[in-house]
Chains A and B, each alone.
Chain A
Amino acid sequence: MNKPKIVGDTMTVPSDQEFLADVDTFLEATLRGFGADESVIADIAISVSELVNNAILHGNKAIPDKIVTIKLKRENNAVCISIADEGTGFDPSEVDDPLDDNNLLKEVGRGIFIVKSLMDSVDVQATNNGTTIVIKKAI
């Protein structure tokens, strides 16, 4: 069975939600090493969990052989994180507005909205070979 792998500040995980906790452990340890405070770490951890969930379920369709890659990079006083899947491209603009009264009680569809609310910037690069989302947050 495929297992998560860590090389430097990069982690690759098979498309199985079982590994979400491993991603969080790697992420939070790395962010503490960067000197981020706990509130910022929580905001980033929430955002990364949303994006990794999306990458596993919507990007890679939970096919275990498809990999999600998480890369962390310190950029001056900020952290830059990319989450890449091997799917066929995901367009966040296709998601309904979760604040619309008609959507308020929907059980899904808030992930990207939460990420945009918590992060300083969110950049989506969708191609036929996968989607890479890059988030930045001051630390």
Chain B
Amino acid sequence: MRLSDREQDGVVILQPKGKIMGGPDATLLHDKLYEYIDQGKKNVVVDLAGVDWMNSTGLGILISGFTTLRNNDGILKLANVTDKIQSLLTITKLVSVFEAHDSIEEAIASFND
């Protein structure tokens, strides 16, 4: 997995690419997410367009970020959820937890709703 990150309009955008399966790669996403949370950032979008698939480790990282941000008056949203990951979110009922958007721009705009 590779990971890029940036900020746009006050929103942190994390863009993992490849597969999120556990081990060093998953640690990279977790650590970057918490680096921003520790800086006091409250609005985060994880762009999943480039993620081939993830397993429960990846879902666990998203949940961890979601709950930590929510407990600090922030929110973690998803963008560009692929069919494979959408299927995982559905079977695990996590589709009811995460707010998902069809594009990064739409996700960023939703913070102003």
Give me the interface of A with B, judged by CB distance under 8 Å: 17-18, 20-21, 24, 39, 42, 45-46, 49-50, 53, 98-99, 104-111, 113-114, 117
Query: When the two chains form their complex, are residues A117 and B55 in contact, meaning their CB atoms are under 8 A apart?
Result: no
Query: When the two chains form their complex, are residues B88 and A114 in contact, meaning their CB atoms are under 8 A apart?
Result: yes
Query: When the two chains form their complex, are residues B91 and A45 in contact, meaning their CB atoms are under 8 A apart?
Result: no
Expressed in whole angstroms, the Cα–Cα distance for A19 and B96 within the complex equals 33
Q: Chain A's nearest CB lies how many Å from the CB of B21?
A: 4
| Given A21-B23, A46-B54, A46-B88, 19 more pairs with CB closer than 8 A | A17-B23, A17-B24, A20-B21, A20-B23, A24-B19, A24-B21, A42-B84, A45-B53, A46-B21, A46-B53, A49-B22, A49-B55, A99-B93, A104-B96, A107-B61, A108-B60, A111-B56, A114-B88, A114-B91
Give me the interface of B with A, judged by CB distance under 8 Å: 19, 21-25, 52-57, 59-61, 63-64, 66-67, 84, 88, 91-94, 96-97
Q: A20-B22, A39-B84, A117-B91 are in contact. Are A107 and B64 (CB under 8 A)?
A: yes
Query: When the two chains form their complex, are residues A21 and B59 in contact, meaning their CB atoms are under 8 A apart?
Result: no
Q: Chain A's nearest CB lies how many Å from the CB of B86?
A: 13
